[in-house]
Amino acid sequence: MKQETFLSLLFIFTCATVFKSNAQEVIKRNGYTLTFESNYSALDPKLKTRLIETFFVVYPKLAKEYNPKTLKSVKFSVDTAYKGVAATSNGKVTYSSIWMDKHPEDIDVVTHEVMHIVQDYGNSVGPGWLTEGIADYARYKFGVDNAGAKWTLPALKPEHTYKNSYRITARFFAWIEKHVKAGTIKAVDASLRNHSYKPELWTTLTGKDLDALWAEYVKNPEL
């Protein structure tokens, strides 16, 4: 009988501990809901606040610019078991507690990741470099503190191509927006979401294919 009582108390204590460590906080503002959870007890409260505030600053802007029909409810999870930087799937962004501890200034990882939610390409016909390039272009354009993270678009190097993805591709996109045709990346993003994207779209939008655009970029890459 005593053993059963002890086991019952142990079960209750264990459940309470798990609930506390993964306790969810639900924040609602201006039609958007963020559910925040963390199993990292040492998470800096100031960092948690910055993660939440960044979401409510950038997500509505990204939604307005690219996809007003994007999810209205998103989940953030800071996870001690996740060894990457961050990952997004089905409206949930998982952040590495290790990365956030070492790089608390990299708050616009939020901007990149929630852009993936806004993108919502599903089984897209587009290449991965294009998806990640657009997400980093969105970070460049809408980030709240890229400077604080010392995050910049890299200068062009001879070995770069537009297929390098992330910041290298994002810089090329920023150049297209400034020097070729504003609104191009928004149109490409929309085509990926409705699964109509084809490489020929670049010619339709700008009058030149990707290789020709890149060649011009290489000649004069200044932003």
Q: Based on the fold, state whether residues 158 and 218 are members of the same structural domain.
A: yes
Contacts of 99 (CB under 8 A, 6+ apart): 84, 85, 86, 106, 109
157 within a domain of the structure (yes/no): yes
E-assigned strands of the chain? 24-29, 32-38, 73-79, 86-89, 92-96
Residue that terminates a domain, selected from 63, 96, 120: 120
Domain hosting residue 157, numbered range: 123-223
Tell me if 161 is assigned to some domain: yes
- Assess contact for 179 and 171: CB atoms under 8 A: no
62's CB contacts (< 8 A; 6+ apart) are 70, 111, 114, 115, 118, 138, 142
At 86 the three-state DSSP class reads strand
Model pTM score = 0.89
Q: What is the pLDDT of residue 12?
A: 38
138 shares its domain with 110: no
Write down the pLDDT at residue 160: 98
At which of 120, 140, 158 does a domain end? 120
Both 39 and 89 in one domain: the answer is yes
**Please, what sign has the CA dihedral across residues 90, 138, 108, 72?**
negative
pLDDT at 8: 40
CB atoms within 10 A of CB 212: 13
Q: What is the pLDDT of residue 22?
A: 57
Cα distance between residue 36 and residue 33, in whole Å:
10
Q: What local confidence, expressed as pLDDT, does residue 59 receive? A: 98
Looking at residue 165, what is its pLDDT?
98
Residues of the chain falling short of pLDDT 50: 1-21
pLDDT of amino acid 28 = 98
